[in-house]
A and B are shown apart, each in its own frame.
Chain A
Amino acid sequence: MSERLLEVTDLEVYYGVIKALKGISFHVDRGEIVSLIGANGAGKTTTLHTITGLIRPKHGTILYKGADIGHIPAHKIVSMGMVHVPEGRRVFQNLTVYENLLMGAYSQKNKAEIAANLENVFKQFPRLEERRRQLAGTLSGGEQQMLAMGRALLANPELIVLDEPSMGLSPLLVSEIFEIIKSFREAGKTVLLVEQNAKKAMSISDRVYVLETGSITADGAASELINDERIKKAYLGE
């Protein structure tokens, strides 16, 4: 059995009195791409925010590499090797592309390693190198998504958490983004992916969890779920 990188058990999250997550459990093994799919408001983003420390759970445990991170502040989780690319990219509009990438390396101390990672990111995203002196706010949506992903790579992550990376992008760019996600796995990274585009997400994932109004209602190998009649009907538009 492969190494368990992330293990979430009985996670409950409240917004005031509203229960957003009703005790969900899932895990991500090293080297996998795992997708969380579900409709708007199912709790996908809440789940991601909770595991990376932006929201605190009311109940349940989050084990990352065996350590309980449920009460570790978000900024400390980054240096543990889990990095979150948030929904809507959220690049720093008033910083240049280069400065944004450096922000990604904020928790990194080793200068030589930062330089090497930067070179790799520029190799993978040549557009970012061309535009390194441009303010990030002037980039197109696709370029901003690439910047957000490149920025995450500079944190030297083991687990990359992606929230709706294909949102608002043209079909051509969407395919490109999914190719990039696949390349993360080839580079030895682990990916936890949240997507509206369930079909695409399932096509690159190893395993899938289906989230419905705060509960996980189905899970399994992507290759099996993609043929599940109920999933097909609800999420794949077939």
Chain B
Amino acid sequence: MEFLTTFVNGLSLGGIYAMIALGYTMVYGIAKMLNFAHGDIIMVGGYTVHTVLPFLAILLSGVYNPTVAIISSIIAIIAAMVFCMMLGIVVEKVAYKPLRGASPLAVLITAIGVSYLLQSLAQMIFGSAPKHVNIKALDFGILKIGGLAIGYNTIITLVCSILVMIALSLFVKFSKTGRAMVAVSEDKGAAQLMGINVNRIIMITFAIGSALAALASVFFLLKAPTMTPTFGSLPGIKAFTAAVIGGIGSIPGAMIGGILLGVIECFAQAVPAISPYTDAIEFSILIILLLVKPSGLLGKMRREKV
């Protein structure tokens, strides 16, 4: 029973990692850059919820009841997604777009710079002390079936992340913009010759990735309601690891890598003897996998074009 509980928790955590990993992998596939500021978008999403929730509570104080509380939580989540989406677009336009065609190292160091900039801004605005961001209205307690005890939050997280992954897969496969994303990731020049505005596709990719990061922050807050300016760093690196394990650039790869990492993390934490080494175990798996299969689980070996 405990095994099953751990497994479900792992799937749920993996779903969150997958959502973040999708942002890394899509941006890498389409803009050919590692957006190391992606993790910090998670943090911005968390602080947006932290800012919007009390504001809504004051606004709706006259009519406050459990249903209104749930609705205002959902509004706060949507606000976080929209704000992060806009932030993603602005960061891309201001910091990355001028470097199109520059050396990958210049872009990389810029991304790291953006990451520290966002963390510093958050520290200036919210201070470095942890902030309690409790989305109480969405805490529905614990589901007990037989000996199985799983938080409703875990199930909501899992279901939402699966829905997000299905929606994204359908979008990429069947929408005109989604197909254009595949085309741009494969051959930017040929895509332009089809009439695709590559800059617009890159912008959409950043918008989608950032919205998913904001959603991920909400699910993290449901697990542990604390927010700090460096909140996004570790989940960001973990999700990046997941994207690399799955094969960076591959959308199904990011999903599989994320879920795999989440399950491994939860099982490692469940065994007292090895739980202190959870992070080390996860990164070791990355190293071993890259030794065996350098392109990741679903990644394709890049054909070098002359």
Contacts and interface: CB of A to CB of B under 8 A. Distances in A.
Interface of A: 52-54, 73-76, 78-79, 83-84, 86, 90-95, 99, 102-104, 106-107, 151, 155
Given A90-B187, A92-B187, A106-B176, A78 B193 contact: yes
A75 B182 contact: no
A107 B190 contact: no
A103 B189 contact: no
B189 to A, nearest CB: 6
B193 A95 contact: no
A106 B194 contact: yes
A103 B183 contact: yes
Given A92-B187, A102-B176, 4 more contacts: A54-B192, A93-B186, A95-B183, A107-B195
B196 interface: yes
A193 B186 CA distance: 25
A195 to B, nearest CB: 19
Which of A79, A86, A90 neighbours the largest number of chain B CB atoms within 10 Å of its CB? A90
11 contacts: A54-B189, A73-B192, A73-B197, A75-B192, A86-B189, A86-B190, A92-B190, A95-B182, A103-B194, A106-B176, A107-B194
Given A103-B180, A106-B176, A78 B194 contact: yes
Contact of A84 (B176, B191, B193): B193
B222 interface: no
A74 B198 CA distance: 10
B183 A83 contact: no
A93 B197 CA distance: 20
A102 B192 CA distance: 14
Contacts of A52: 193
A136 to B, nearest CB: 10
Given A99-B179, A103-B183, A90 B190 contact: yes
Contacts of B191: 103
B179 A75 contact: no
Interface residues of B, number: 17
A92 B182 contact: yes
A106 B178 CA distance: 12
A107 B176 CA distance: 11
Interface of B: 176, 179-180, 182-183, 186-187, 189-198
Contacts of B194: 75, 78, 103-104, 106-107, 151, 155
A78 B195 contact: yes
Which of B176, B193, B196 neighbours the largest number of chain A CB atoms within 10 Å of its CB? B193
Given A92-B183, A95-B183, A106 B195 contact: yes
Which of B179, B180, B190, B192 neighbours the largest number of chain A CB atoms within 10 Å of its CB? B190
Contacts of B190: 86, 90-92
A90 B186 CA distance: 9
A78 B182 CA distance: 19
A220 to B, nearest CB: 30
A93 B302 CA distance: 13
Which of A104, A106, A151 neighbours the largest number of chain B CB atoms within 10 Å of its CB? A106
A74 B190 CA distance: 10
Contacts of B183: 92, 95, 103
A92 B194 CA distance: 11
A75 B186 contact: no
Contacts of B198: 75
Given A75-B198, A103-B179, A92 B193 contact: no
A94 B196 contact: no
A104 B189 CA distance: 13
Contact of B196 (A75, A86, A91): A75
Contacts of B189: 54, 86, 90
Contacts of B180: 103, 106
A107 B198 CA distance: 13
Contacts of B179: 95, 99, 102-103
Contacts of A102: 176, 179
Nearest to B198: A75
Nearest to A155: B195
Q: Would you list the 4 A-B pairs with minimal beta carbon distance, nearest first?
A: A107-B195, A78-B195, A90-B190, A74-B192
Which of A91, A92, A93 neighbours the largest number of chain B CB atoms within 10 Å of its CB? A92
A55 to B, nearest CB: 10
A69 B179 CA distance: 27
Nearest to B185: A94
